């Protein structure tokens, strides 16, 4: 139904910014809620942000509120995560996920499709 590929990760200094992209295949991207998750070594996969299919509603985990912004461009079949004021604790592999739904979800098991992940490293 949909295939996801993340890009835009890299190495940045504390306080810097990165913009992650998630490119989707398939014909009906707007029917999918999108989510961003991250996983650091030795830790569980953590919810970061989600957005409804229309882009009308968003939700963030407390640790990134005010710093990260999730968005989407349905014409381009892409979702984005703008990350500002990055901290070393943001270091992780970041994953894009999709769920066929009119709502949005914060639980990893709710999502149907996942990208391969992109590494974000924030140096101090």
- Tokens describing residue 35: 């989510």
The pLDDT value given to residue 26: 81
Mean pLDDT of 10-16: 98
User: What's the rounded Cα separation, in Å, for the pair 24 and 74?
Assistant: 10
More confident residue, 108 or 69: 69
Among positive and negative, which fits the CA dihedral 52, 103, 113, 81?
positive
CB atoms within 10 A of CB 65: 10
**pLDDT digits 0-9 by tens, 48-77:** 999 999 999 999 999 999 999 999 999 999
């Amino acid at each position: 139904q949909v295939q996801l590929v993340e890009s835009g990760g890299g190495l940045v200094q504390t306080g810097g910014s990165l913009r992650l992209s998630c490119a989707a295949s398939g014909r009906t991207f707007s029917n999918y809620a999108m989510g961003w998750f991250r996983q650091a070594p030795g830790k569980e996969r953590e919810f970061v942000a989600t957005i409804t299919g229309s882009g009308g509603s968003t939700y963030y985990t407390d640790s990134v509120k005010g710093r990260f912004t999730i968005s989407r461009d349905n014409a381009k079949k892409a979702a984005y995560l703008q990350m500002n004021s990055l901290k070393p604790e943001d270091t992780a592999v970041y994953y894009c996920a999709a769920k066929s739904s009119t709502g949005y979800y914060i639980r990893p098991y709710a999502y149907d499709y996942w990208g391969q992940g992109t590494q974000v490293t924030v140096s101090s």
